Structure 1
Amino acid sequence: MEQNAALRSHLTDLLAARQAHCTFPDAVAHMPTGRRGERPDALPYSVWELVEHIRRAQRDILDYCRHSDYEAGEWPHDYWPDTTAPSTPTAWDESVAQVQDDQEALCDLVADETIDLYNTVPSSDEHTYLREAMLVADHTAYHVGQIVTVRRQLGLWPPSGDAE
């Protein structure tokens, strides 16, 4: 396999494939509706807060890669939800779907051979597409691990198809 194609393949796998740990869909599978906003003792976040943070941060980086007029949000307000639980089951479903849609969009961006992964993104003179893809993969993996930890503390890991 040619080096550029191999790099793109490795990056898309890093973003979306099950490799050394579970994926985002694995981590959120069968999360009981009534427990999505529950915080275990001694942990400062719920599964909902982590899912929504992943969604917001990933979307922010996707926008950073796409738009030359990108402006960063206000930290931490624009990157973390204001509530520990989703307002409705639909809000949960939409957030989870958006994480997966934006992940797919990032994979498409990485796979796009018209984009040189070593070039800087349109809104930066120092950050490359390669850096941003690796940043999303690293950030998401970190918080997916936290989701698993929260679920373990709540007695909800491994996920059960009967949990809802």
Structure 2
Amino acid sequence: MADRGNAALREHVVNLLTGGHAHATFEQAVKGLPVEMRGKVPKGAEHSPWQLLEHLRLAQWDILDFSRNAKYKTMKWPDDYWPKEKAPADEKAWDKSVRAFKKDLKEMVALVSDEKTDLFAKIPHGDGQTILREALLVADHNAYHVGQLVLVRKMLGAWE
């Protein structure tokens, strides 16, 4: 019974990380955004789509790195988590950030899916965190900022 429950928990967490279900997915939020709108901050918003994308990528990478790297180095808040530039340097920078986000998400999913990963064990170099907590943090943080990205796209008139 415990194995089945553990497998079900892993499946639920993976679905939470990748699903969307009640909200837009990352893929939907970044797909088809015109190049000229990626660096625009609409009136009433704090961030451009580029800044939100990079924040999603940086924060997710940091959580993943913390989750599996015994030599993890703490990043400085907020400087290391938010890009200063409103726009990507070019279209390649946007595409590279999207690919990196997807790669890191896939690695978090793999970590959670791996039966050798004890979801409940405290991370040795942390102060009480577990892989389960970090995976849920990624899912929660991503859902929040993907929602912001959708809202910014709506404000820019770039969401259907």
- What is aligned with 2:80? 78
Structure-to-structure mapping, 1:125-136, within 5 angstroms:
125-136=127-138
Structure 2 CA distance for aligned equivalents of residues 95 and 150 of structure 1: 18
For 2:34 and 2:97, locate their aligned partners in 1 and report how far apart those are by CA, in whole Å: 15
- What are the within-5 Å matches in structure 2 for residues 47-126 of structure 1? 47-126=49-128
Q: Percent identity?
A: 48
* TM-aligned CA deviation for residue 18 of structure 1: 2.7
> What letter is aligned with 1:46?
S
Q: Secondary structure at the match of 1:2?
A: helix
Query: TM-score, length-normalised on structure 2?
Result: 0.96
- Give the partner amino acid of 1:60: D
Distance 1:17 1:111 in 2: 15
- Counterpart CA distance in 2 for 1:116 and 1:68 is 16
2:156 and 2:8 map into 1 onto residues whose CA distance is 40
The amino acid that maps onto 1:3 is G
Instruction: Name the CA distance, whole Å, in 2 between partners of 1:90 and 1:69.
Output: 31
Contact in 2 for aligned 1:49/1:81 (Cα 8 Å)? yes
- What is the CA distance between 1:80 and its match in structure 2? 0.5
Question: Please, which runs of 5 or more residues in structure 2 have no aligned partner?
Answer: none
Could you tell me how far apart the structure 1 residues matched to 2:69 and 2:35 are? 36
Q: Which residue of 2 aligns with 1:9?
A: 11
2:152 aligned partner = 150
Shift of 1:136: 0.4
Q: Is the 8 A contact 1:66 1:122 kept in 2?
A: no
- Once residues 154 and 79 of structure 2 are traced to their aligned partners in structure 1, the CA distance between those partners, rounded to angstroms, is 27
Structure 2 CA distance for aligned equivalents of residues 123 and 103 of structure 1: 22
Q: How far did residue 123 of structure 1 move?
A: 2.1
Q: CA deviation at 1:82?
A: 1.3
The superposition leaves residues 66-125 of structure 1 with CA deviations (integer Å, 9 ceiling, x where unpaired) of 111211111111100110000010000000011111000000000010011001224213
Q: Structure 1: 5+ residue runs without aligned partners?
A: 159-164
Structure 2 distance, partners of 1:40, 1:62, is 31
Question: Alignment length, in residue pairs?
Answer: 158
Corresponding letter in the other structure for 2:93: A
Q: How far apart, CA to CA, are the structure 2 residues paired with 1:46 and 1:101?
A: 22
1:25 aligns with 2:27: yes
Question: So what's the TM-score if we normalise by structure 1?
Answer: 0.94
